[in-house]
């Protein structure tokens, strides 16, 4: 099976998502949520699997006095994010071309962390969650969103086609689909990886359990992205370590808790 080519995805990702009302709704949820947070001054904010910078740059705009660490190993994604940060004049964004396992973030230092539509691709999602928890200062906040159900490429195509025909007309819709054809190719690879267990799938309950197993205190759980994704808002408790619950596996069962380190992320 061919692996997902994230650099090819990066070239058209923002263009396609600009026409996707479900993605726009997710970005709006993120912005509405984090703008209400009071974060300790000067502490870094870390976005993991940051891709083209939609959320890392969102953090930078919302919290201009905080350094924002954009953690992403894919060079194509990082190139897009860096161009966008320069164009927006966001000098508080630092591109860290690394995976979650070797990102240079001091334990207990971060005011907030986020991971949006990336965790499912990591070799060990529970270990990645534990690492995010370790980076947070006590009381630090987390915005975590992950696609738990396999992407139905044809169903999404029909949804977007209908939306595009209504908003930009049939000719405009055809142009967007042609320009974004690489997205559909990569999404088919993602679906195959989800179905064969290479990428993590989960229910909302299993996602919450994984977050809690990493010792986060969960504040809220929602589904979003037309029911495909699970969203958890959480924090690192002010007190000591959590209960050390069992870790969910990729198919929704549980496995014994392991080390907090994880292998290099695939994106």
Q: Where are the domains of the chain?
A: 17-150+200-255
Any idea which residue has 């990645």 for tokens? Answer: 128
Query: Would you state the pLDDT for residue 46?
Result: 99
> For 147-195, how does the pLDDT look when each residue is reduced to its tens digit (9 = 90+)?
999 999 999 999 999 999 999 999 998 998 898 888 888 889 999 999 9
- C-alpha–C-alpha distance, residues 179 and 162, integer Å: 17
The average pLDDT across 35-52 equals 96
Query: Would you state the pLDDT for residue 204?
Result: 98
Query: Would you state the pLDDT for residue 259?
Result: 29
**Model confidence at 241: pLDDT above 70:** no
**Model confidence at 221: pLDDT above 80:** yes
**Model confidence at 93: pLDDT above 90:** yes
CATH of domain 17-150+200-255: 3.40.50.150
Query: Would you state the pLDDT for residue 256?
Result: 33
Mean pLDDT of the chain: 88
Query: Would you state the pLDDT for residue 2?
Result: 64
Pairing label, strands 254-255, 247-248: antiparallel
**Model confidence at 85: pLDDT above 90:** yes
**Model confidence at 265: pLDDT above 50:** no
**Model confidence at 244: pLDDT above 50:** no
b/e map of 5-34 (b: 16 or more CB within 10 Å)?
Answer: ebeebbbbbbebbebbebbeebeebbeebb
Any idea which residue has 């890392």 for tokens? Answer: 56
């Amino acid at each position: 099976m061919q692996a997902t080519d994230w650099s090819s995805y990066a070239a058209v990702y923002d263009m396609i998502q600009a026409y996707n009302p479900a993605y726009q709704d997710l970005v709006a949820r993120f912005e509405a949520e984090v703008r209400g947070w009071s974060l300790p001054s000067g502490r870094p904010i870390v976005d993991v699997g940051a891709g083209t910078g939609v959320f890392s740059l969102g953090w930078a705009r919302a919290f201009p006095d905080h350094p924002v660490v954009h953690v992403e190993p894919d060079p194509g994604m990082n190139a897009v994010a860096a161009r966008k940060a320069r164009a927006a004049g966001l000098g508080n964004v630092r591109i860290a071309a690394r995976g979650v396992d070797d990102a240079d973030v001091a334990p207990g230092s971060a005011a907030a962390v986020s991971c949006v539509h990336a965790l499912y691709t990591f070799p060990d999602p529970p270990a990645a969650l534990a690492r995010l928890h370790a980076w947070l200062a006590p009381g630090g906040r987390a915005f975590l969103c992950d696609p738990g159900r396999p992407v139905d490429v044809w169903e999404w195509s029909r949804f977007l086609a209908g939306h595009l025909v209504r908003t930009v007309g049939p000719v405009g819709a055809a142009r967007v689909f042609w320009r974004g054809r690489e997205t559909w190719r990569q999404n088919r690879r993602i679906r195959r990886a989800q179905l064969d267990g290479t990428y993590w799938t989960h229910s909302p309950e299993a996602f919450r359990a994984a977050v809690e197993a990493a010792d986060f205190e969960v504040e809220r759980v929602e589904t979003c992205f037309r029911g495909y994704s699970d969203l958890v808002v959480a924090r690192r408790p002010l007190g000591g370590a959590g209960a050390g619950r069992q870790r969910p596996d990729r198919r929704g069962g549980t496995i014994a808790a392991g080390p907090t380190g994880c292998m290099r992320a695939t994106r």
